Structures are given as C-alpha cells and as structure tokens.
Structure 1
C-alpha cells in the first residue's frame, strides 16, 4: 500500500510540509519507492534505501502516520497486557515487543492485569474496541469457556499461558520440555534429592502444571521416584515467594541437594534463604531457574537458568498478530519458540 501524504502546513513556517514527492525528487527515485522504504513491505536495494534515508534526513521529512492510519482504518496502536510489569521477564519481553513494533511504525500500549479475572476479561473484550488494532495477552485466570464466549473481534495473540483448547493464536516455549531439561541437568550433575519450587494449581492448566509435569518426566526417565514433599507451591513468582518456600522446605527437615525453581526470581529468593541458613550454592545445594533475566547474570552466585528466546517470542507474536489483523478468518496457529540451558555458577 502506497504511503500517502496530506496537504498540511509546517506550523513553524506556515509553508506546505515536506512530502513524499519531495523526498523522491531529491533521492531520484519514484514516490512508490520511497513508500516501500518507509513501510518495509517490498524489497529495495541497500543503496536505494540508503539514498532515500539520506533524502529524508536532508529534508526533515516526517511521515504522516495519522493520515495513513485513517486511510486504512487502523489506530496504529497495539496493546500488550501482562500480569505484572515489574516482573523482569515481562519487562524484558515488552521491551522487545516495543522495538519490533516500532519497526512497523506501531505504538505499544501496556496494561497490567495483576492476574485479576475482571481485568483479564476487559482485555479479552477488546479493551474498548476500536482503540487498538490488536492485543498481545499473557493471561493467568481466563479459561477456555471465556474465550469461546468472546464476542469482540479485536485480533488477539496469547503469550506464555495457554487457554486449553481455545481457538486462538499462541506463542510460548515448551514448558514441559524446559522443566525437564532443567531437572535433567541437575540429575546429570549428581542431584538425588531435587526439590521443585513454584507449583500452582490453576483451572484449565497453565505454565506451572506444565513445569511440574516436565520435572516429573525427568525424574521418571532417570528412574528416580517422585516425592511430593519436595514440591513446594507458591502463590506468585517473586523473590519473596522463593525465599519463603525454601525456608518452609528446610524448616520441615527436608534438605534437598538441588532445587528447580519455576522462575529466576523464585530462584534468587531461594538462594537468599540458603545463604542465610549457612548453606553454600552450589556446593551444598544447586539452584536453577527459568527466564534468564538480566539480574541472574549479576547475582551471587550467577544463576544457571533455562533461557527462552524472548526476542523470538516478541517477534513471532507480532507476526501472528499482524497476520491476524490482515486476515481475521485464518486458522489459529500455535508456535513453540526455542529455549536453551545457560550454565552459570549456581549449578
């Protein structure tokens, strides 16, 4: 689609603003080529692209996004709704979403649901339909029936948590495989009493039950028995939750030799308690998390973790969302993004 200008005046000079044809003339290309460079939707040679950007800089041209969005009946906005903005994993993921969306000239609105059902229902209802062109959504409490009864048509892509059986686009790592990989690594390094911190029971499934399943699969594959006394639930995935769960485990006389934590923040909290109790990490108790947040690279000890490809999650989710915006009738897709094991000092 050709990027179009409207006749406006530059407020500083009251003269007609620089337009796409001015850029084309200076760059010695067609207006269509300039439009293609701006939108990125067709292949343009590097030399031509560089010449167009030079002309844009020389003339101080600014695309009229409002005019374009009105023409195609789009807001130029997408929303990202997550449980907690302050959780480093979500903060880092949102950063990647913002960067990728900016490349398509979209602005990102951010909403925090705190996992409250009424807030998640508001997201599912389209967040004031017409305000945004699409939504990336990481839910906690929504069940399949909620999605099946959804009347709003705002394009939606799920991140992480999956609505079991719901016909909706979804992007995540394989949580079962990720948990199994973490547990298997602890077994391979000699762990025999491996605790798991972070289990949660949720209607319709969710991330925590999948990670518990992966933990159990790795134990079974190694011929090790599952001990429910080594699985400690948490209500959330904060440092405090990990610290309290680790304290509860030690207080009942159970000292593991390794701990698989369902998030890096939980792992950092668990390490804090272990050190307070005079236990060495990893010599006495090895600890591994999931998320590979930046803080884990600088903790003491540095944190061994499962690393999801957050850049791929953000970009894949946006690709699905823009595909859904372009064609709302296509079949939903479920995309699994790679993860890897990052070994550091804690294990």
Structure 2
C-alpha cells in the first residue's frame, strides 16, 4: 500500500511540474506579446493571382506531360514572354494592363468583417483607376440593419469613385447580404446560391407570465413615449406592439428604396416579399446578372488583366488569439447548429 501511495505521489509531482512548466511558457509568451504589441502593426497583404493559377498549371503539367512535351511547352512560353515584353516596350507612357482587385467578405450577424473591408477598400481606392475593377466575393445571410448599412456604405465608396464593382456570390447573399450585393454594377452568382430575402425580421421572447408565476416583480422606467416599445420581461401593450411593427415596416421601406435605387429594373412588388430564391430563379427576377462561380469569373479575368487578391491582416497578441480561438470555437458550434435548423438541404 505504501509503495502504491509513493508511486501516486511521484506521478502527481510530475503532473504538477509539467503543468507549472506549461503555465510559465504561456505566461512568458503573453508577457512577450504584450511588450511587442506596439511593434509590427496590422497590414494590407496582396497576392498576384495570375502567378497563383500559373503555378497550379505548371505543377499539373510537371506531373502529366512527358519531358519532350515540357521542353516544347517551355520554348513556347519563352517566345510568348518575349512578345509580351516587346508589346510592353511599345506602349505609351502611362498606359498599362487593366487591374482587378479581389476582396472577400464573409458576413456574420454583426457584419464583423466590415473592419477589414473598410481598410481593404481604402487601400484599393488609393491605387485603382476607372479602367480597373473591384471584385467582392460575398457570403452573408444578413444580420443587424445598422451593421449591414455600414458594410453597404463601404461598397458605395467604390461606386462613387466610378470604379466598376462586381459582386460574386457562391453560396448566399440574403437580407443584409443582398443589401451589399445590390451595389454591384454586376452581380454574378452560382446556380444554387441563395439571393433575396428583402425583408426585415424581429423576434423577442416575453417572460412576464413566468415572472408573475414565480412572484417576481419587474419594473421599467422610461422617459419618452416610445423609448421602449416592447420588452422581454414586462407586459407588452397593443400600442407598443403597433409602434414596433410600424418601425419594422419603415425599415423595410428604406431597404426596398435602397435596392430599387441600385437595381432599378427589378419589380420590387415581386422581390421585396422577404422570400429568397436560388441563383437560376433569382436571375429570372433580375436579382443577378450572370450565372457563374467566382472561380470561373476570376480565372477568366486573369486572361486579360492583372488580378490581385487584397486582404487586411490584423496583428493580434497571444492573449487576444487565445481568447478569439475559444470564442470562434463556440461561434462555430452555434452556427453549425443554427445552419442545420435554418438552411434547407438536398
């Protein structure tokens, strides 16, 4: 028995030692990241997509073609490069190849990525000219009105600069997501991407009866007749409900006006019912312009233009990264559950 306790004590001591060592490492890392938080700042990153796709092609050619075929291909490419250089020499000063800037926006309920989007757009607008184009790969089922209003306003900066804006939707651009999408000079979507949902949703539980049942009083004090129209814990009145519905209808009217201004050829009576449609049906209603995936659109653009993926990389210290990883894990779990309930599957 004594031998068993001795072994257990030794095991416990080893475990505690390992835990202490891990905590010391984490502590020093956090301390170091805290000291360096004023060092390297967040930055804009770019990737030349023409080279990216060319590299993919070369890898595949290397695996499939024979040595003779690769040799002939190499000669043809060298000849093509020489001709390209000749053309560039003969070009007048100031003339250049058209550029396409590709941005990604993956929207949550709060349109959180707008903080990155605004920086990316600011960077692009400092370089882009009227002959260029901005492509936004958009994925969003919508969310808060004010958040998506801001995200849409960021895209409006591109339009007001007279730079062509193309929105690509591979999966979903609904509600607030479509509010953003409608700003595109052109909307391109996959055949079964979800578009539309031009409507407003508000839902709120009420626990007043539960509180009464448990003899719990709830008091709410306001100044201003409509400071609080409906509440979760107090008793809601017909007057408050009516005002709340009025506010929702007004928001819907603003939404419809916004979409109508940017897509004037659509029949708003048909599309502003809150319904959503898959790409093929959405095209018939004028919600989009072309049926095509973002990959197809971007690879086609590479044939005639220099295409750059632009992203904003935010530098985070260790403490922030640890916090975000836990938060993102919870978010993913909740969103996975919600998507199973909300989205239809084949």
Q: TM-score range by the shorter chain?
A: under 0.3
User: What TM-score results when the alignment is normalised by the length of structure 1?
Assistant: 0.26
User: What TM-score results when the alignment is normalised by the length of structure 2?
Assistant: 0.26
Which has the larger Rg?
Answer: 2
Answer 1 or 2: higher relative contact order, Cα 8 Å, separation at least 6. Answer: 2
